[in-house]
Each structure stands twice: as structure tokens, then as C-alpha cells.
Structure 1
Amino acid sequence: MTAPAVSPDSYYQRTGEHRYKPTAHAGGAWNTEEQHFSPLAGLVVHAIDRYLDGRPATGLALARISYDILGRLALDECEITVESIRPGRTVELLEAVVTIGDRPVVRARAWLLAVLDTAAVADAPGDRLAPPEEFGPWAMDGLWDGGYIASIEVRRREAAAGRAAAWISTRHGLVAGEPSSPLASFVALVDTANGIAVQQPPTAWMYPNTDLTVHLHRTPEGPWTGLDTTVSFGPTGHGLTSTVLHDTTGPVGHAQQILTVRPLAED
């Protein structure tokens, strides 16, 4: 494994047209020698944005992105390729593949939908999260390891085991020297949800997610990602993290993560 670059202001550094090297800030929570999936998810959206910027404007916007995590996310250089697999004037499906060491490790599919004026009927039933300044700071790195967790600011309210709401932000950019869209920056913090509503202590149980699906009814605005999260464990080793996503003006969509729940071996 190539040692991660250290950068004071980014999760990745570009090493080629489609290649990126993670910095120490991308380190994982379950294994510090792996990438945390949250910034990698945002990097995929960043790569999709670049792909769309390289062709004529279509008037489409991302409404859903679903990631399948296929293998170990080594803290090493990755390549992201994007292609259109279902073109269309009002609906399009893109696929992005993340490769590390010539092995696909993430496959993502993004639905793009036509942008229309529906302001007259816009409605998002459900409570808004209180603003970030009304949440208390939470030292998430006291419970979870890794460079990514150490890099974020977390403001959190816990309701019960498996239930919490939080606001997440970061001072770090996704890719050194490159602006990222509000959507990419927002999505780069969503995978934090599985760690803010703690169902069981991670010192006794493992419950990593094998996927992440984000549905959006409007494009979020930064700089805060709001998570209203419920974590459920079933009786046969499966779990589910369900999150209502917010920006500071209200709810923007939902995220779901399936979990593999396993007891940690005692020393």
C-alpha cells in the first residue's frame, strides 16, 4: 500500500485525469488503513460532475445515487470512470466505477432527471432539524478512529440507542485545488450517519455498511449536512441505517445503508 499523502485541506489529491490519491484525512473508522466511504462517495459525485461538465448541458440533475461496495477500500490511489448507460432527454442513468489496484471496489449508479419548475406544488412534509447552533458539539473521535472522523465537526443530539440527529461539516475540500459542487460536498458527509446513532458500542460489535443509497427531492446547499438517523439491528446479523437528510433550510431527501452485524472477538 502506498502511504497516504498528507494535505491540510483536502481528502484527495489528483494524480491523473481520472485518478485520485487519498490523504490521511480519508482514513476509515473500522480500519484506519482503509478509506472511509463517506469522502469516497463524495468523490464519485465530483467525478460525475466533471463528466457532465465535459459535454453539452442537458438540463438534468442528479436525483438518486446508489453505491455498492464490492471490496476493501485500501487507502491507496483510485481511478473513477463514468459512463452513460441509459441516455435520455428527460431521464438518464450514469454508472461510475471506482477501481483500486485494477480491482473494482465500488459501483455506483446515478439517475438524472429533468429540471422543471414545480415551485407551486413543492412540499416536504416532516419536521425540520433545529439549526446547527442549537446542537451541542460531539467529540466523535472519542468513539471512532480514523483520519476522516478526526477531520469533521459534529453537532449531535442523541434520543436513544440507535436514534440521533446531527449536523456534520468539514473545513477540508474533496480534491486539493479543485472546487466541488454543493452536492458533492454534501454527499461526502452522508455516510457518517452509521456512526452517529450508535446502536451498540463499536468496541463490541462491527456493523459496516455494504451499500449507500441517497434519494433527493431537491439539491442540497452547504456547508452543513443534517442527519436524522435511525439504526435498526435484526435478529439474523443484518441491520439498516435510515436517515432523513437535511440542509439548513429543511429536508432534502433520504439515505439508506444495509449493515452486516457481527460480534467482535474478545481478547
Structure 2
Amino acid sequence: MSSGSYYERIDEQRYKPTPHTSGAWNPAEQHFSPLGGLIAHAIDLDRRGRGSELAVSRLSFDILGKLALDECDIRVEVIRPGRTIELVEAVAVIAGRPAVRARAWLLALGDTAAVEGGQAPPLTPPAELEPWSASELWPGGYIASLDLRPCAPPQPGRTAAWISSTLDLVQGESVGPVAAFVTHVDAANGIAVRRPPTEWMFPNVDLTVHLDRTPQIGWTGLDTTVTFGPDGRGITSSVLHDVHGQVGHAQQILTVRPL
């Protein structure tokens, strides 16, 4: 893998995935985590191109099928324009069909420091932790590209960990803090496995991220709990952190079935 990025730009709307995007259930497909970051990047480019100063505050992704290691065409549309609240939709087309449909709520910012509160305690700083190789559990270039540092030994269905990568999201492009952060959030479902992925499948069909402040570029902190229900469904829930503390929450709905 000679590329130093997850994607390379083809033109204004199209991107080519590199082998670093592959995995985790199938190394011949894209891991959703970098693709989620790419879609967030496309939404941010559209926002900046329109001169909007609103902040991405919720991102919801519906994963419509397998994510082929093929070029991505991302189209962004404003669904609900506004001066203080805006709804944007992005569709990622892969191999000629819509593969991911995403919506983002953008909100106006203001000074609410006087009433700030309710955040979870901060995680142990990543500089104090040792790396752990998730490639022991998961194949593919994406997992292999990560610097993963658990705050304690991972337990079935429960892990708090930091994730970062030295790779660019898009080769040669500056990426905003939300896109850089989201590039690692979908990995939550793979760091707190309840059952071995060699025995059970539990892929997520969506990802929803709520942010109560803009994260700092660098480390993505995931304080994650995975539950399996009795009838083939599960939920991965994460409190999201950057190095300064909590920034929001993420949820993923899982389809659970034996191999």
C-alpha cells in the first residue's frame, strides 16, 4: 500500500478508494468508517462553498448495501435551507447504485458556556496508553491503518478506546474536524465485540452521530457498549470524546446472525 490516503480525488464529485479502505467483514469491500468520513467531507465542502457558517450537529447514515471497492460519486443537496437551521442530504453512488444515503442537520452556534454541563468524565489520555492491534480480530486495510489504544483490556461488549491514523482522508486535501473525527466513529462496532466475528455476524446498517460541540482534529475517543437482543438485533452505543472531553454520542443498529 503505497498510498498515504484512504481516497484519491477523481473530479469534483468522484473519489477512488485506496486499499486502506478495505474491510472489515470483507476485505474486498470498503469499511464504512472512511466512507462516512468522506461523505462528511463532501457535506462540509458544500457548506463552505455556499458560504454557510452553520455547524454540522447531527449526521445520520443509512447503509443501503455492500460497499464495493469502486469509485464513489457523492452528490449533496440542501433539503431545508435556513439562516440558523439547515438540513442537507448526501448520496454516495458506488458501482452505479446508491450505496449510502446521509442527512446532516446544521445549526447556528452561540455562546452557551454559562449553562454547559452533563458531559461524561474524560477518558484516560491516549499518550498514556499502549497500542493494541485489532487486526488480530479483523482483516482489511482500514483496521491495519489505525493506531488503536484501549483505556483498559477490551471486554465482550464493552471497550473505551482511542483511534487515530496518519493517513489523509483524501490525498492532498485539508479536511475539517467533523469529517476527520467521523472517519473513525464507525469502528466502534469492531472494538467491543460481544461474540467472535468468526462465529457471528453483527454488521451495522446505519450510523447516527450527534455532536454537542465540534471535535478537535486528532484522536477519536469511543466509550462503547454493545448489546445483543434475543431476536436477531443489537445496538452499538458510544459516547464520543476528543482529547478535551465528550463531544457527543453515536448509535449503530446491528443485524445479528450466526455464520
TM-score, length basis structure 2: 0.97
Q: Deviations over 1:98-156 (max 9, x none)?
A: 00122001000000011111122222432111101232211111111000000011001
The amino acid that maps onto 2:85 is: V
Q: Which residue of 1 aligns with 2:105?
A: 111
Q: CA RMSD in A?
A: 1.0
Does residue 1:102 correspond to 2:96, yes or no? yes
Q: Which moved more, 1:132-141 or 1:246-255?
A: 132-141
Q: Which residue of 1 aligns with 2:166?
A: 171
Question: What is the rounded CA distance, in whole Å, between the counterparts of 2:212 and 2:109 in structure 1?
Answer: 11
Match of residue 142, structure 1, among 114, 125, 136? 136
The SS at the match of 1:43 is helix
- What percent identity do the matched residue pairs reach? 63
Q: Which residue of 2 aligns with 1:255?
A: 250
Would you say the 8 A contact 2:68–2:95 is kept in 1?
no
Q: Which moved more, 1:157-166 or 1:202-211?
A: 157-166
Q: Deviations over 1:12-48 (max 9, x none)?
A: 0001110000000000110001000000000001101
Q: Which residue of 2 aligns with 1:205?
A: 200
Q: Which residue of 1 aligns with 2:226?
A: 231
Q: Which residue of 2 aligns with 1:3?
A: none
Would you say the 8 A contact 1:36–1:148 is kept in 2?
yes
- Structure 1 gaps, min length 5: 1-5
Question: What is the rounded CA distance, in whole Å, between the counterparts of 2:202 and 2:253 in structure 1?
Answer: 9
Match of residue 124, structure 2, among 109, 112, 130? 130
Q: How many residues align?
A: 258
The amino acid that maps onto 1:115 is: L
Would you say the 8 A contact 1:79–1:100 is kept in 2?
yes
Question: What is the rounded CA distance, in whole Å, between the counterparts of 1:124 and 1:188 in structure 2?
Answer: 26
What stretches of structure 1 move > 3 A for 4+ residues in a row? none
Q: Which residue of 1 aligns with 2:186?
A: 191
Does residue 1:44 correspond to 2:64, yes or no? no
Would you say the 8 A contact 1:124–1:251 is kept in 2?
no
The SS at the match of 2:153 is strand
Give how far 1:8 is off.
2.7
Q: Deviations over 1:178-217 (max 9, x none)?
A: 1111111110000010011110001101100000000000
1:254–1:97 Cα change, 3 Å: same
